[in-house]
Chains A and B, each alone.
Chain A
Amino acid sequence: MSGLSLRLPKSKKSRLPRLVTLLGLLFIILVVIYTFVYLQHDPNLTNLDDRLLGTSIQHPLGTDQLGRDVLTRLLLGAQQTIGFSLLALISALIIGVPFGLIAGYKRGVVDRLFMRIGDGFLAFPDTIVAIVLSGLLGPGIGNLVLAIILVKWVNYARLVRSTVLSESQKEYVLVARTNGLSSAKIIRKHLFPHIVGHVLVLASLDLGKIILLISAFSYIGLGVQPPTPEWGAMLNESRPYFQSRPELMIFPGLAIVVVVLLTNMAGDYLRDHFDVKKEVQQ
């Protein structure tokens, strides 16, 4: 029998992916800050004489169908895409985490009420909510962000609640109570640190999804409105030129892929980092 079993080599995870993730995220953040502070080019400057140009010194990535510089639009698009994704994510966190903390700690009626509200929101798929909101309030990035928040906060509330439910049963919370601490203080000092890890992991994995969602909705015209540069919208605008100038679609597409990949890798890394069970095995 022992001949059939194969001993797995002790996997020593290489540090390379971690390093790449870190450098990539750092690079993107720097680029976003750079464009925010220093970029002087006008992303909306049309010049029909120079439309659909190839790579040149003046236009490193060429120009699009209206003669606008693709690199400039790509850089500013990063601001839009990543900025609005972060806005949606952080708002969802700000709503979801306290909801979960209070529901998990108070239990009983409060818990049931909060979670039923959450279930109600969870019943709608994010795509439907976004389309309905756009239909009711008109397309625009504000409504898209609102739709994402409406759907995403429930995940955080549920995650936080489940952790707090089990933690608040433990003796140290009782001890803190017997020593006269208020509920708010117990939640803040003794329970909140427990959930930071879980929330961070979920958030970094979610960031990729939200970026995709915002790009996707901009692509079908429900997100960022032209002429504001956004990666999904850029993809959409260059669709008619796919056969003659495919790179117009490739650049924003690649940008989305890279950013989503990096956030997912960061999420994986954080998950490994906060995994208590793994620590015990070592």
Chain B
Amino acid sequence: MILSIEQVSISSSKKKIVDNVSLSVGEGEWFALVGQSGSGKSLLSQAIGQMLPANLKVEGKIYFKGLELLSLTKKQFQSIRGKKVAYIFQDYQGSFTPFRTIGQHFDEYHRTHGELDAKSRRLESIHALESVGLDENLYDKYPFQLSGGQLQRASIAIALMLSPDLLIADEITTALDSVSGHRILELLAKKQRETGCAILFITHDWRHVRRYASRLAVMREGEIVESGGKHRILDHPKHEYTKRLIEAAPILDQGLPSGLEEVEER
């Protein structure tokens, strides 16, 4: 197990937002965390990287490769962020600092994690860009000059650049149209096969779960109601909430009914 979360609770001063959650992600696994908005899945993922705002308190234990994350000091943690645990977020427009070029972002993260030679940094960054199917000349472009899909590709490239062991993808396709979203996920799946990193994939889209995930957990109001292998849960959901959630997913196998009643032929 590369990541195991054991009885983690996140609470603000008023109430418990995530309640006693345990889950584990295996090496090279695509683990999907499903749930409606406000169920606490994003907060849980941010707790892994100690990214929570200061007013939220975390209890419990999070082990990453046998290392207890919540007990690490800030300094120790900085070397893990980006290098061993990487994040991709939903908002691709906001993921890049507006007045810095794409290349400067790559360069900076490279240097933070110890690559000192400027030339090799540039080469590796361009290589990372090309590996996600982006052109070399985007290196000197500013974020607003790229399209949404390109930006999300670039953030995948940044996240995977230092070959992390765990990639946390927080609703990365929500802000994209479905074709671009599909391409991004295909790319992510391909990169996963190449690098063998584990992915914690946060979503509320069953199509992505069905297609890519190997295991999944369903979250509701801060608790995990059901978890297990993909086929087990999708085909034989046990919990009432999971059943309802799956039923609510729009499926297009009966065409696209407009809502009008059909005229019966006599």
Residues of A within 8 A of B (CB): 107-108, 170-172, 174-182, 185, 189-190, 193-194
Q: Assess whether B113 is interfacial by the CB under 8 Å rule.
A: yes
Cβ-defined contact, A170 with B82, below 8 A: no
Cβ-defined contact, A176 with B97, below 8 A: yes
Q: Assess whether B135 is interfacial by the CB under 8 Å rule.
A: no
A189 CB to nearest chain B CB (Å): 7
Residues of B within 8 A of A (CB): 49, 51, 54-55, 78-83, 85-87, 89, 91, 94-100, 108-109, 112-113, 155, 158
From B55, B100, B112, A179 is in contact (CB under 8 Å) with: B112
A163 CB to nearest chain B CB (Å): 14
Closest chain B residue to A107 by CB distance? B54
Cβ-defined contact, A179 with B158, below 8 A: yes
Q: Which residues of A contact B81 (CB under 8 A)?
A: 177-180
Cβ-defined contact, A180 with B82, below 8 A: yes
Q: Which residues of B contact A174 (CB under 8 A)?
A: 51, 87, 89
A165 CB to nearest chain B CB (Å): 13
From B55, B82, B94, A172 is in contact (CB under 8 Å) with: B94
Bound-state CA distance A189–B85 (Å) is 22
Q: Which residues of A contact B87 (CB under 8 A)?
A: 174-175, 178
Given contacts A178-B87, A193-B99, contact A171 B94 (CB under 8 A): yes
Q: Which residues of B contact A181 (CB under 8 A)?
A: 78, 82, 108-109, 112
Question: Given A172-B96, A179-B86, A181-B108, 12 more contacts at CB 8 Å?
Answer: A171-B94, A175-B89, A175-B96, A177-B51, A177-B81, A178-B86, A179-B109, A179-B112, A185-B108, A185-B112, A189-B97, A194-B99
Given contacts A178-B82, A180-B79, contact A172 B51 (CB under 8 A): no
From B49, B54, B94, A178 is in contact (CB under 8 Å) with: B49
Chain B residues touching A, majority SS: loop
Q: Which residues of B contact A178 (CB under 8 A)?
A: 49, 51, 81-82, 85-87
B57 CB to nearest chain A CB (Å): 14
Please name 28 pairs of A and B residues whose Cβ atoms are closer than 8 Å in the assembled complex, sorted by A.
A108-B55, A171-B89, A171-B94, A171-B95, A172-B94, A172-B96, A175-B87, A175-B96, A175-B155, A177-B51, A177-B81, A178-B49, A178-B81, A178-B85, A178-B86, A179-B109, A179-B112, A180-B78, A180-B79, A180-B83, A180-B113, A181-B82, A181-B109, A182-B112, A189-B100, A189-B108, A190-B100, A193-B99
Given contacts A171-B89, A180-B78, contact A190 B51 (CB under 8 A): no
Chain A residues touching B, majority SS: helix
Q: Which residues of B contact A107 (CB under 8 A)?
A: 54
Bound-state CA distance A194–B142 (Å) is 15
Cβ-defined contact, B112 with A170, below 8 A: no
Cβ-defined contact, A172 with B78, below 8 A: no
Bound-state CA distance A170–B55 (Å) is 17
A181 CB to nearest chain B CB (Å): 6
Bound-state CA distance A174–B50 (Å) is 11
Bound-state CA distance A178–B55 (Å) is 19
Q: Which residues of A contact B80 (CB under 8 A)?
A: 180
Bound-state CA distance A181–B98 (Å) is 17
Most chain-B CB neighbours within 10 Å: which of A177, A180, A182?
A: A180
Bound-state CA distance A1–B55 (Å) is 56
Bound-state CA distance A193–B89 (Å) is 23
Bound-state CA distance A179–B162 (Å) is 10
A200 CB to nearest chain B CB (Å): 15
A174 CB to nearest chain B CB (Å): 7
Bound-state CA distance A178–B45 (Å) is 12
Most chain-B CB neighbours within 10 Å: which of A170, A178, A181?
A: A178
Q: Which residues of B contact A177 (CB under 8 A)?
A: 51, 81
Bound-state CA distance A203–B182 (Å) is 50
A22 CB to nearest chain B CB (Å): 25
Closest chain B residue to A172 by CB distance? B97
Bound-state CA distance A181–B109 (Å) is 7
Q: Which 10 A-B pairs have the closest CB atoms?
A: A171-B94, A179-B82, A180-B82, A178-B87, A180-B81, A179-B109, A171-B91, A172-B97, A180-B78, A190-B97
Cβ-defined contact, A180 with B112, below 8 A: yes
Q: Which residues of B contact A171 (CB under 8 A)?
A: 89, 91, 94-95
Bound-state CA distance A41–B54 (Å) is 63
Closest chain B residue to A191 by CB distance? B97
Bound-state CA distance A270–B144 (Å) is 24
